[in-house]
Amino acid sequence: MPNDSLSALAKLVLDFRTARDWKQFHTPKELAISLVVEAAELLEIFQWRQGRELEEAIQKRKSEISDELGDCLHSILLLAHDLKIDLGEALAEKMRKMEAKYPVAKAKGKPKKYNELD
C-alpha cells in the first residue's frame, strides 16, 4: 500500500516545505491555528444538514472532504515533526489511556460523554 507510512508522508510534507523555505512561517502556534481553520472548513461541509440531505452532501462533496482531511493531516505531521513528537506513538498511547478510561464492560453502547457523567 503506497502512502501508508507516517514517516514517508512526513518526508513528503517536509521536503515540500524545505524546497520553499517555509519553515520560518511554520511556528507551532501558526500550525495549530492552521489545523483549527482546516478542521472548521471540514465541519462547514456538514453544517445545517441532517438525514438524507446530509448524506447527499457527503457523497457530492467527497473530494472536498478528502482534501480537508489531507490538510489536517498535513498540519498534524508538521507539528509532530517540529515538536519531536512521535505521532503514531502519541495515538497508541492515547488508545492505551482510553482503554483504561473506558473499559468495554462499562462503556459498551454508551456515548463517551454520557459515560463520563456516571
Binders of a copy of itself in range 86-115 (CB under 8 A)? 86-95, 97-99, 102, 104, 107-109, 111-114
* # residues near a copy of itself by CB under 8 A: 78
Query: Closest separation between CB of residue 16 and a copy of itself, Å?
Result: 6
Pick between residue 21 and residue 118 the one whose CB is nearest to a copy of itself: 21
| Binding test (CB under 8 A) with a copy of itself, winner from 19, 52, 100, 101 | 19
Q: Give me the sign of the Cα torsion angle 93, 83, 20, 67.
A: positive
> Scanning residues 28 to 47, which ones bind a copy of itself (CB under 8 A)?
28-30, 32-37, 39-47
Write each residue from 49 to 88 as x if it is in contact with a copy of itself (CB under 8 A), else as -, in one continuous string.
Answer: x---xx---x---x--xxx-xxxxxx-xx-xx--x-xxxx
Write out the three cell numbers for 74.
498535513
- As given in the structure block, the three cell numbers for residue 49 are 444538514
CA-based torsion, 19, 24, 26, 27: positive or negative: positive
Q: How far is CA 89 from the centre of its chain?
A: 15
Residue with Cβ nearer a copy of itself (47 or 118): 47
Grouping H, G, I as helix, E, B as strand and the rest as coil, residue 34 is helix
Query: Quick one: 22 exposed, middle or buried, by C-beta within 10 A (0-12, 13-18, 19+)?
Result: exposed
